[in-house]
Structure 1
Amino acid sequence: MTEANSKMVDSSVVLEKALHSWTIIDLSNLQKELDEKAIDIQDYQKESLVDRKELANQTKSFKKLEDEEKLEKFNTLLKSYQNVIDLMNKKTKNIENLFFKVYRSIAEAPDPKPLLKSSLDTLATVSELTKVKEENKILEEKLLKFADYDKLKEQIQTTETQMKTINDAELEAKDSEWKSLLEERESNWKKNEEELESLIESLRKDIQDREVNEKMLKLRLKKKSEALGEEYNEDAEEDNLVAKNEFGTDNVNNSLVESLKKDLESSKERVQSLQSRNEELRKNASLLNSKIDIEVKKTKKENDKQISNLESENSMLVAKLSHERKTSTKLNEEIKLINDKFNKEITQLHTDIDNLKKIKNERSDYKEIKKELELLKQIQFGDESDNSDTNNEFETDSVAKIESAIVQRNKKLNNDLIQLRRVNEESSKKIEDFSAKVEQLEKEIRVLKDTNVRLENDLINFEHTGNNNDDKWETMSMISSIAGTNNGKNNNNNRSVSPAASIAGGTDDNRSIIMGGGGNFSDSSLLPIITQQRDRFRNRNKELEEENKKHFSKIVELKREINSLKNDNRELYEKIRFLQYHQNAQNIQQNGGDIESRYKVDYEHDLHPIEQFRLMETKRINSKITPWDRIFIQVTKTVLSTPLTRWLFVAYCLSLHLLVMILTLSLMGGSANSTTTYQTSSSLASSGNTQNIDSKLL
């Protein structure tokens, strides 16, 4: 389930991304734009074919013309080629822009093929889903009807078990009745046996006692007979004793037996009555127990039935509740989906609104542009006097300002246009002159190439030929004179000539002489001149390279010195800033304001961002400080700026303290003297008064 959910989430995310990208692409508008551009491209193709045909015809006609006519019509053909090239460039630019626009819009878009396949699969599964949903609803309704199936099964099982338990209980009750009866009877029989055994034992004891008594009596009789001197007849005595004993015992036994019989009968009756009562009580108790068990089980059964009914009702209610919960969850999901759709639509609307607002803000000057356009139309067509309605609308000061600005702008544009036309005419004339010069130079280059080829051939053939030095020097003098004349002419014409041209005769006037006099000079005479010039050029190149190296080294040293000076100046500026921070910066700024302004930018640019922020914060805090606080801070800065001021301030404080201490001590000394004088005067006065009193008393 989790894998399926994750797959569903991934597919939904992919679909959302695809939808977002394709909404950005806006395929319908893009297709419209492409249709318009396709029409334009077709028009371009037609125009390009027409232009090519015209160019082909022009080139054919140009080839057929003579050289002088070619020079005249070369510029027109060039312009036509340039126009065609410009049109081709414009077409390519438009096509490139269109391509990049389409590429930018489609570059990040996902492949729609798998998405369309998945959508087709979803459409195929939607019909199956509807069928499955209908079947699911039918089955859910059936399930609601058979919701208490499990409970009914449980009830049947419980009833079966209860019936079994009731039958078992009844059987157990009957078994317990019979068992109780048997147990009672067995207990009664055991009691009777025990009583009889006790009687037998008591009778045995009586018999034993009587036998002992008999023996005792016999012994006594023997002793008495022996004492009387008579013979003791044991048999006779025994018979007499037996007869006496039998007679006495018979009487005693009869009375005892009768009493015992009576007791036994009464006890038997009592025992039987008690046994019958016990049996009845046992039966009643067992019956009561069985009835109680049966009633308990019946009540239990009834309670179980009620509980099962309640449980079945509860299960039905639970099933209904679960069904309602499922329906509510489905409804909530549908509501969420609808909310998501609405939210997406709202976000899209918000984005559209924002875009429209941006467009509106971008086109906020629409009315002003419209007014300017109408004014331009008025200026262009001269409808200022005719259109009274428009004049009524633009009578304000702003309109007047705009009109004046537009008129000035129009004048400037007209002047610029006239100047540009003049420049265009001059440039076209210059182009014609340059084209003529280019043709002349091309001709000269061809001639020089031919001479260069000849010189190379002469150099190759020099190894195989050898002539006298006189001929060489003659040729050298001849060539040098020719080169000198040619160089003079070239200098007069203000044209630069190459070394080969100077050797070979540079210009068209002398080239004919060299070409004509080539047969008179030997092929080997040119080689020493060329070798000397080569050596000279090499030496000169070496000298120039050395000078270049020296200059380069000087430049590097100067750059290093400049960098060091810049660093020194920065350090000096930092020191100045430090002094400005701790002192009054008026004198320093007056001395070198221009120099400081040059290095201020570099210093602030090289500062760390945190340092810049600190400086900004200090400036902000200083701007909020009151003037009294600023005066106090300035005074403290001036006092603590240099060690001399600090020591002066310390000396000043100490001198103040000493002065205050001296004053206090002097005041305290003066007050003590005054108190002593006052005390002496008061004591003298009191002594004088006492003397006067004593004298009066006397």
Structure 2
Amino acid sequence: MEAPQGGGGSDRDKPNNSSSTSSTPIPSVATFWKGTALLSHTSNFITNKKSERSAVVFVFYREDMISFSSRTGIPRGSGLDDFKFDLEKERSVLDEQGLRIAENQENSQKNRRKLAESTRDFKKASAEEKLSLFNSLLKGYQEEVDNITKRAKFGENAFLNIYQKLYEAPDPYPVLASVAEKDLKLSELESENRKMKVELEEYRTEATHLKNQQATIRRLEERTRQLEQQMEEKVKEVVEIKQRSLAEENQKTLEVLKEREQLLQDQLRQAQDSVSNMQKLHELAQSQLFEYRAQSEEDRAAKQSEVNLLMDEVERAQTRLLSLEREKGVLRSQLQSANEENGDRRSEDMDPNSILENSLSAKEKVISELNMELHSVESTLSNEREQHINEIKKLNALLNEKDFALEEIKKELQARPTAKLVDDLRKKVKIMQAVGYNSIEAEDWEVATSGEEMSKLESLLLDKNRKMEHELTQLKVKLSEKKSLLEKAESMIAELTAKVNEQQRLIQKLEDDILKGYSSKDRKVTLFDDWELSESRAEPSEKEALDSFWKMLLFPLMYQKTFAKQNSEQKHVSSDQDQSSMLKVICSQRDRFRTRLRETEEEIRRLKEKIGVLTTELERTKADNVKLYGKIRYVQDYNLEKVVSRGTKKHAEDLESGFGSDVESKYKKIYEDDINPFAAFSKKERDQRYKELGIRDRITLSSGRFLLGNKYARCFAFFYTIGLHILVFTCLYKMSALSYLSHGPEESLIGDKTIDLPHAL
């Protein structure tokens, strides 16, 4: 019975040992915070010197971020202006919090050790001592729970404080990186744009002055070779930049994967150790269970043999009791017969009867003692059976728990990556390194692609690299387009600013004229001047409506002035002066509007002429571009088999197709439409049919095309047909009315067989 208790005690002590081993990082955390505190105390002088520099850098960073937000359209209230972060203060606060956390961890470790010792003493104590030690032990656990709660609250508050301050901080890295990258790209694209402009001018001059097509083809071939060399150099530069970025990314991913691999290996090692420990514990538990079962079977057999012996003794006692009872009955019968037969010998026979009665009472006592002993043996046997059954249940429950823990560990091991998966990850990392650093040559690449080791990841990485190169070229083209749009917008802004300045000058002139004519103090004149100011601030489209409004207002006012002239001579003089001043202002404003209208008409005429010139130049440029595209296609026929960069022919074709643009596709479509034989054949057939038509059919077809193709001709034909129909209907109506009126008195005499016919008109 002592073996199970000993085993249970060892199993109970194991969690305590595990807890003590699991809490081993606490002293390391404490030493870390103490070390950081010592370093902070020793480096106060250095940090004080560097704090000013960091503050200046932070101020410049905020100014750069604000200027960048103003340039890129980012709102000012997005965290750039409101964010303030005192690094030195927060560092001191974090040092204090870290030291306090370390102290709390050390105190918690000490309290846990004390509680473990007190619990061991409590387990070892007797029942009476446990009652006295229970209150102190419970109080210790309550204090430990309170301390842990305080620790958790302190840690949560510290984390929430630092999280709240860091949550408001914007991330400067993407903004600065994008600014630097865009500035670099912008400078490169500006230089490329200048070069391309120079080259375009050279092409135009060459296209106008060229007479011989072979000479132009040779020059274009040389130029295309130079452009190909430049393009190859640019592609190499771009590829090097991409390779550097990919190398950095791959290095980071490689480090992360190595750390992950080391962590997984540590976890696998720990899991294997835990599995081996659990297997040992399981084997130990099974051996103990087998021992317990064997011991219980032996105890059961011993108890069964004891019970059998006791049952035999009980049976023997019962048989002996029955025999004694029979003897007792025989003796009583003999005693009664002896009493009846010989009354005289009573005194002599008293001694044997008393002896027999004494022996009978002694046997009854023995029987009662045997019965009591039998009952006690049965009760002890039942108690031992119950204890044995309870122990078996406990051992089965413990065995089930061990099996469940073993199954969980097996599932965890199955969920963790296997050695094959780790090897696959290593292989993928090597592939990423090779692709990132561009360490694969063309021959090695052909061997790798022809073999069976070419995985899906390699093809995906290569496709990604090609797509990135294609996107780079597209972004260059888009940037050039955006730059041209920016130049157009800047020119438009300059024109609009000049227009606004001119309008402001006109408004100022109008206000000066109004102030010169603002000499009277009458309310009507004040009202007129206010209206004049509102008119000067109105839109140009409202000027004509305001002029008509002034005319409508001035005529009744003039009549009022003439009516007031009859009443008072003084009012007439003042009103004439006011009216003359207002008329001068209105006339000056009318003259300004006329001059401005002439200027706008002249500007519209110039713009129309400019638009016509630009459209003709655009058509000419488009035709030149189509011709140049045809010549480029002719030159490219010689370079179809050339490999642009490393890799196979398929890779080269992909790179060539990746450098295409929307402009090239547009001119390609125009060029193919021009050289389309079906379109030329259909046009030729149409011209032939048109020539075969007669003169009347040609006139009808041309007039129909003119009427259907011109907007004004369609409107003229529509209104002409409507007017012609109206004229015909009115003529018919008038003719019928005149005929009715002319023949109204005449009647048809039906009875006399006379019919009045209508006279001719």
Identify whether the pair has TM-score above 0.5, normalized to the shorter chain. Answer: no
- TM-score relative to the length of structure 1: 0.27
Structure number, greater radius of gyration: 1
